[in-house]
Structures are given as structure tokens and as C-alpha cells.
Amino acid sequence: MPDRLGAGPLLSVEGLWTEFPTRAGVFKAVSDVSFTIDRGETLGIVGESGSGKSVTALSLVRLVSPPGRVVAGKVLFDGQDLLAASDAELRKVRGGRIGFVFQDPMTSLNPLMTIGDQLAETLRIHQGLKGAAARQRVVELLKHVEIPAAESRVHAYPYEFSGGMSQRVMIAIAIACKPALLVADEPTTALDVTIQGQILSLIKELQRELSMALLLITHDLGIIAHMTQRTAVMYAGRIVETGPTTALLSRSLHAYTRSLMLCRPTTADTTSRLLTIPGQPPNLAQEIRGCAFAPRCPMAEPVCTEESPELRELDAEHASACLIAQRDGLDVVTNRISTAGGWGT
């Protein structure tokens, strides 16, 4: 998607590697991940739990907990390499120019501080607001995220809020400084379906109003279809497919993406057993030979266990890390994925 408002992408991630040393070996949580996000654009990252989505998001601003560490790559945010930035420079970016919304607001909010104080702290650190000016802005923010009786709720503690209201507070904190990029990591996981829809609608409206870019991390392809313009699919720490969301979901170029789609619950069939992908993801502390998805893939060939596929563009802005797709071409592989045996038929 072209960037109409600036000279280049707002965020450009190049060759990102993040590792965790363990007794069993070095756990490669993120391996050679690259992507871009333009100003005002929404990019979704989707995959199973443990695929590296959240670690990727935390790596962008060096928030990976020790002993984990980013070992290689560049994260260019509006031209500034965040991996080479000083701690002082990063503190200005975190919560200022990049806002974060995490999946469990009840553990993200400080239970010993009022909602108002937590919002005011963000305003004080990044905008120097104090006293009456900060309080007025806090009330405005709570109203902005549609929390009723905002004037009185500023004195409430997190335990006095429901999960949905707590997530609205987290969104208020994330947008307090009008960030250029909002990172939403599974923002609706702990919420019921009705509240999920409300939170997603709120994020979408705020994104439009504030002209923010959005990095949306989820395991839910329905959310991806509803919210994003482009999507990156992660498996075993790597991006295995990326492209415009509509094209990616309608014409998957990787068997893993197709598998995720087949495993979605539907309202059309409530009697059949929920489909699952057979097998388990690989141990990322061990060396992986060939394609990491090959042991679970219904269309794998011997070459898939011998050669490691690179992410290559096969159609307009649509790339896949599949050796079969790269060898046989778009139409042949699309048909093979659709008709492959196993759980997909």
C-alpha cells in the first residue's frame, strides 16, 4: 500500500531476530522477520499461540524480558532505528509515539493506583501535564473511550472495572499522547463476543480519528478480515505468508494459512467436531531443517524437509515461504491447497 503522507513507511522492520537462552538450547522466538507499516495503515499479524507474534511486538521497542534479547535486525520508526536508540530516546517513543494495548488489562493496570492517576502518569511523563490540566485531560480521555460518569470514575481502582471497561482504560492510556502507531496485542482475548465487537469498533474509530497506523496481533482470522488491510502470517517464529488481507484469505499461498482458515468455527455447521491441525509446532530451541510446517503439511514433498524456504513474492504484493508454491506457480498451488487431503476435506 503506498504511503501518501510521508516519504517512506512509518515502521520498517528488517531481519529481526529475538532469542531466549534456555537449558535446552537457544530458543529462537523470532527469526528473520521483516515487514512495513505505512502511516494510517492496519497490518495484522496472525498465527497460533507461540508463533512469535507477541515477542515480535515487544521486540520493536526492546521490551522483551531478560534473558530474552534482540540479537539482530533493524526497527526503523519514522527513520529512527529503535534497536540502536538510547534508553532515554526509547522512553519518549514508548507510550508517546507508539501506544500499546495488551490482551489482559487486569494484569496491565496497577491495582494500587486509581485509573485517573495511571492516565495522569502517562500525561506527565510524555507531555508534562500536571494538576488541573492533567485531570481535565484524563476526564476527556475517559469520555473519548466511552466510559460513563468519567468525572467520578477517575477515582476508581482497576478492580472496580469490568474487563471491557478496563480495556477501554488501556486504550485511553495508549492514545493519550496521540501516537503515530498503535500496537494492539490480542486486545479482545479475555472479553465476551459482544464486548469484543465494541472494543474493535472503538479501536477502528480512534484510528480513523487520530490518523494512527495500527499493528493488530491476533489468532482470530475473523478479526483480521474485519480490521486489517494487509496481513502477515507467522509460524514457528517466521513470517510464512504476507499480502493484502482480501487476497490472502481468498487465495492462500501457504498451507498453514489455509489450515488456519479450515480450523475456524462456523455458525453454518454446529454439529461437526471442530477441526484442528494435526501434530505440534516445532521446538524452536532445536535446529529446524527444511520447512518448519512440513511435518504437519498435507501437501509436503521430500524437498520440503531438505530445503528452508524464503519468503518470496508470487503475486501482486502477495508473498509465500512455500517451496511448492514457488516451484509450481500460483494457480497450481492454490488448487492443491484447496484439495489437499487430511483435515481440510
* Structural domains present in the chain: 11-228 (3.40.50.300), 261-344 (no CATH)
pLDDT at 59 over 80: yes
pLDDT at residue 2, as a whole number: 40
pLDDT at 87 exceeding the cut of 60: yes
If pLDDT is split at 50, 70 and 90, which confidence band does 7 have?
A: low
Look up residue 208 and give its amino acid. R
Rounded CA separation 140/113 (Å):
19
Q: What is the 3-state secondary structure (H, E, C) of the chain?
A: CCCCCCCCCCEEEEEEEEEEEECCEEEEEEEEEEEEECCCCEEEEECCCCCCHHHHHHHHCCCCCCCCEEEEEEEEECCEECCCCCHHHHHHHECCCEEEECCCHHHHCCCCCCHHHHHHHHHHHHHCCCHHHHHHHHHHHHHHCCCCCHHHHCCCCHHHCCHHHHHHHHHHHHHCCCCCEEEEECCCCCCCHHHHHHHHHHHHHHHHHHCCEEEEEECCHHHHHHHCCEEEEEECCEEEEEEEHHHHHHCCCCHHHHHHHHCCCCCCCCCCCCCCCCCCCCCCCCCCCCCCCHHHCCCCCHHHHCCCCCCEEEECCEEECCHHHHHHCHHHHHHHHHHCCHHHC
Instruction: Return d(Cα 300, Cα 323) in angstroms, integer.
Output: 9
pLDDT at 53 over 50: yes
pLDDT at position 9 is 94
Residue 341 has pLDDT above 50, yes or no: no
pLDDT of 6 reads 53
Cis amide bond preceding 302, omega within 30: no
Overall size of the chain counted in residues: 345
Taking the mean position of all CA atoms in its chain, how far away is CA 276? 22
Q: What is the pLDDT of residues 171-198, one digit of tens each?
A: 999 999 999 999 999 998 878 888 999 9
- If one compares 194 and 241, the residue with the highest pLDDT of the two is 241
Is pLDDT above 50 for 344?
Answer: no
Q: Is the pLDDT of residue 251 over 50?
A: yes
Amino acid code (one letter) for 174:
A
| pLDDT reading at 266 higher than 70 | no
More confident: 276 or 180:
180
Average pLDDT, the chain: 90
Predicted local distance difference test score (pLDDT) of residue 135? 93
Binned at pLDDT 50, 70 and 90, residue 234 comes out as: very high
Give the integer Cα–Cα distance in Å for 240 and 256.
8
